[in-house]
Structure 1
Amino acid sequence: MFIDNSKELAQNKLLILYILDNADIPMNNSEITQFLLENNYMNYFLAQQFISELVSSKFIEFSIKDGQEYYHLSNAGKDTLSFFNDRIPQTLKEEVIKRFQKKKEEMVKESQIIGNYYKKSESEYIVNLKVIEKDINLFSMSLNVVSNKQAKMICNNWKKNPHEIYKQIFDLLIDE
């Protein structure tokens, strides 16, 4: 019983390392946890415990960008994964790659299209809309609106259809 448990614990930690190794984009704790939960790889408490243990043992490092911690493999994590890679069943690796590909597309879209707002005064909200690609700000626009409702609506519409909105703005600006 103990051997099976320790084998499963090791496999779960290796799975987290494997996910981070195959991520082309930085992932924060919530994104890692959400992926693990959505696919029933482990429960929330185990995910948090394993991530914490992997950070403590220096297999995972994190960097802070825009006030958010993003995790990545350390050299020790890469070495460990490469040494014990065969302990993750091939079918599980293939399943993770397939499911993670879809998740990466969603995460990239979320990280590239940004729409947020903040309250400046009682009747003034500032809405910020951006398109970012590979850390390059392609488009940025700030609007001043009078209500929370308008600010939310603008952000929601931006996130639903950013390409069409961007195209219309661009076309209006270059129209002769």
Structure 2
Amino acid sequence: MFSSTSDLAEDKLLLLYLLEKIKLPISNNQITQIILENNFINYFALQQYLAELINSNFVDYIEQGDKHRIVISSDGLKVLSLFRNRISKNKMRAIDDYLLKQIENIKKEITISADYTIEGSNYIVNLKAIENNSILIDLKLNVASNNQAKALCSKWKKNSADIYDKLIKALIDD
């Protein structure tokens, strides 16, 4: 029993550590991806721990635009500072290494979004870029087919910075 209680505490502290290190509001899906890719916690336990951390006010669930994001709270930071030594050094190193390799992709997922909806016989594509909680661009386009909508979303996700720069230049230059 003691080892499972100890493991539970370490797992929750690991989640707080991840949120502190990432320094960004991230989605439940992104947390899940990081934790599962590193085989730290199974999916169901992870979801339970996140809910418990939210209920204990160690983690805040915020809305950013139309997305739900998770951040560590000031209480969570206090708890982490008191009990950080209970997290395995190997697990902390694994989180640090993962973030070092993946932080740019994570930032891109957080700041760049592309999706579409169907309205009648048309597809409305919404392309958005956010930086420092400010909207850089929020562009809606009406296209005729599902393939066009998917292609626009794909290109935006891959080349949003280039597309944004070209759009700004086209609108500003004479």
Give the shorter-chain TM-score range: 0.7 to 0.9
- Give runs of aligned pairs for residues 20-35 of structure 1, distance below 5 A: 20-35=19-34
CA distance in 1, matches of 2:29, 2:111: 18
2:59 corresponds in structure 1 to: 60
The letter of the residue matching 1:64 is E
Shift of 1:120: 2.2
1:74 corresponds in structure 2 to: 73
Is the contact made by 1:25 and 1:104 (CA closer than 8 Å) also made in structure 2?
no
**TM-score of the two chains, using structure 1 as the length reference:** 0.87
Shift of 1:174: 4.0
2:154 corresponds in structure 1 to: 156
CA distance in 2, matches of 1:102, 1:175: 37
Among 145, 166, 169, which residue is 2:167 paired with? 169
Number of residue pairs the alignment of both structures matches: 174
Structure 2, unaligned stretches of length 5 or more?
none
Compare 54-63 and 16-25 and name the one that shifted more: 54-63
CA distance in 1, matches of 2:125, 2:68: 24
Is the contact made by 2:57 and 2:76 (CA closer than 8 Å) also made in structure 1?
yes
The letter of the residue matching 2:156 is W
Percent identical among aligned pairs is 38
Is 2:42 the counterpart of 1:43? Answer: yes
3-state SS in 2 of match to 1:128: strand
CA distance in 2, matches of 1:16, 1:160: 29
CA distance in 1, matches of 2:167, 2:76: 45
User: What is the aligned-residue RMSD (CA, Å)?
Assistant: 1.9
2:143 corresponds in structure 1 to: 145
**TM-score of the two chains, using structure 2 as the length reference:** 0.87
3-state SS in 1 of match to 2:25: coil
3-state SS in 2 of match to 1:140: strand
3-state SS in 2 of match to 1:161: helix
Shift of 1:104: 2.7
